[in-house]
Amino acid sequence: MAEFDLIGRLARAIPGQGPGVELGIGDDAAILSPAPGQRLVVATDTLNENIHFLPDVHAADLGHKALAVNLSDLAAMGAEPRWVLMNLTLPGADEAWLDDFAEGFAALALSHGVSLVGGDTCQGPLSVTVTVLGNLPASGGLQRDGARAGDLVLVSGNLGDAALALNRRRADKPVEPHLAAAMDRPVPRLELGQGVLRLASACIDLSDGLLADLGHVARASGLGAVLDTGALPGSTALQGLPRNQRWNLQLCGGDDYELCFTVPPERRDEALSLGETHSLPLAVVGHMTEGEDVVCKGPDGAPFQPRALGWEHFRGTGLPDD
Ligand code: ADP
Ligand code: MG
């Protein structure tokens, strides 16, 4: 299968003709019409072998995740995704692999009404770069720089499952299905992001670990924060771990793809009720402070010093050991 057969195969498998697509795959560029009165929002993210996924990753999981991590960025902006481009670098043209990859990608694209409108296909070490475009209302938005001192910090879902799955896989230990799903099939919190748009002062999606990502919100907002380790939401697998190990995974482990957002304290109940609306648990895990440090406290109020800061390329050190 050569380059153009491969592109054709992808284009047939993944929906490409949704709203706003005037010209899709096949020409030198796509032509899109943004919805009237909406701003265009764009994000891109790359997944590289051994950095973002293990070499034995299932193709369908990789297809899902390459799109999911990008949709998660739009979720954190409160945006509605519309269009996507995919830059695919493959070591070879394996039809079965490509079909599985396209299936994982297509299922998620379809469930959010996202159209594949272009991309690029090259030969080389396995790498996927996805670019998503979407709509954002003309005013308002969820940026990192809007938090105020005293605002509560909320997170969706559970934290630390994907990091625990990665540790177990690296150690050749068995991985429970719900942990594997957290690592392989993250669910972009798009509906929550759009719901939070009316309420939150700042928002970020959790890709590098809560400590590092809340640190980005704190820095952008010129603030510090206190995190309450006893309030970090965890699955039963996490709750069964010794507490320091659990907190390290939840604070420093990457790949959660949950939303972390800040709300004024008087909007606490309204914010928590969004969890019921979206059938997604929300937890208050801390608050923003004057100053510039993000610090962690245990349930007894004593400071807790995490083992690492979070994932950063060229520095590593993201993940604490199992
Ligand atoms: P060009 O040489 O003009 O850059 P290409 O040959 O790279 O064009 O691509 C041909 C068409 O196929 C373009 O419309 C491009 O957007 C699309 N395309 C290429 N690779 C992908 C891909 N991985 N996913 C979606 N569309 C793709
Ligand atoms: Mg090209």
Written as six digits, the tokens of 104 are 């994982």
Residues in contact with 291: Cβ distance below 8 Å, sequence separation at least 6, in sequence order:
223, 224
- What is the reported pLDDT for 86? 98
Distance between CA atoms of residues 310 and 211, nearest Å: 7
| Ligand 1 atom with the shortest distance to the CA of 87 | 23
- What is the reported pLDDT for 140? 84
Return the CATH class of domain 3-16+38-137. Answer: alpha beta
CB 258 within 8 A of CB 189: yes
CB 304 within 8 A of CB 149: no
Percent of the chain at pLDDT above 90?
Answer: 93
- Pocket probe mutation, ligand 1, options 21, 90, 116, 121, max atoms within 8 Å of Cβ: 121
The SS3 call for residue 164 is helix
Residue carrying the six token digits 């299905």: 177
Residue carrying the six token digits 């959660």: 256
Considering the chain, tell me which residue range(s) the CATH 3.30.1330.10 domain(s) occupy: 3-16+38-137
Ligand that lies nearest to the alpha carbon of residue 66, given by its number in the listed order: 1
| Ligand 1 atom with the shortest distance to the CA of 27 | 14
**Residue 54 Cα to ligand 2 middle (Å):** 27
Indicate if the pLDDT at residue 234 is higher than 70. Answer: yes
- What is the reported pLDDT for 12? 97
Q: How confident is the model at residue 313 (pLDDT cuts 50, 70, 90)?
A: confident
Indicate if the pLDDT at residue 311 is higher than 80. Answer: no
- What is the reported pLDDT for 307? 85
Indicate if the pLDDT at residue 315 is higher than 90. Answer: no
Distance between CA atoms of residues 83 and 14, nearest Å: 12
Task: Find the mean pLDDT for residues 96-109.
Answer: 98
7 lines ligand 1 (CB under 6 A): yes
Task: Find the mean pLDDT for residues 231-247.
Answer: 97
Count of Cβ atoms closer than 10 Å to residue 216 Cβ: 17
Indicate if the pLDDT at residue 317 is higher than 70. Answer: no
Range of weakest confidence among 21-25, 137-141, 213-217:
137-141
Mean pLDDT over each residue of the chain, to the nearest integer:
95
Written as six digits, the tokens of 278 are 């979206």
Considering the chain, tell me which residue range(s) the CATH 3.90.650.10 domain(s) occupy: 152-304
Indicate if the pLDDT at residue 145 is higher than 60. Answer: yes
Residue carrying the six token digits 């969706």: 156
Task: Find the mean pLDDT for residues 121-146.
Answer: 95
Q: How confident is the model at residue 134 (pLDDT cuts 50, 70, 90)?
A: very high
**Residue 27 Cα to ligand 2 middle (Å):** 10
Count of Cβ atoms closer than 10 Å to residue 305 Cβ: 8
Residue carrying the six token digits 């928002």: 203
306 lines ligand 1 (CB under 6 A): no
Which of 60, 180, 181, 79 is CA-nearest to residue 128?
60
Q: Per-residue pLDDT tens for 5-62?
A: 999 999 999 999 999 999 999 999 999 999 999 999 999 999 999 999 999 999 999 9
Q: Per-residue pLDDT tens for 248-272?
A: 999 999 999 999 999 999 999 999 9
116 lines ligand 1 (CB under 6 A): yes
Q: Which residues pair with 180 in a beta bridge?
A: none
First to last CA, the chain: 42
- What is the reported pLDDT for 319? 57
Indicate if the pLDDT at residue 321 is higher than 70. Answer: no
Q: Tell whether domain 152-304 is in CATH 3.90.650.10.
A: yes
- What is the reported pLDDT for 146? 97
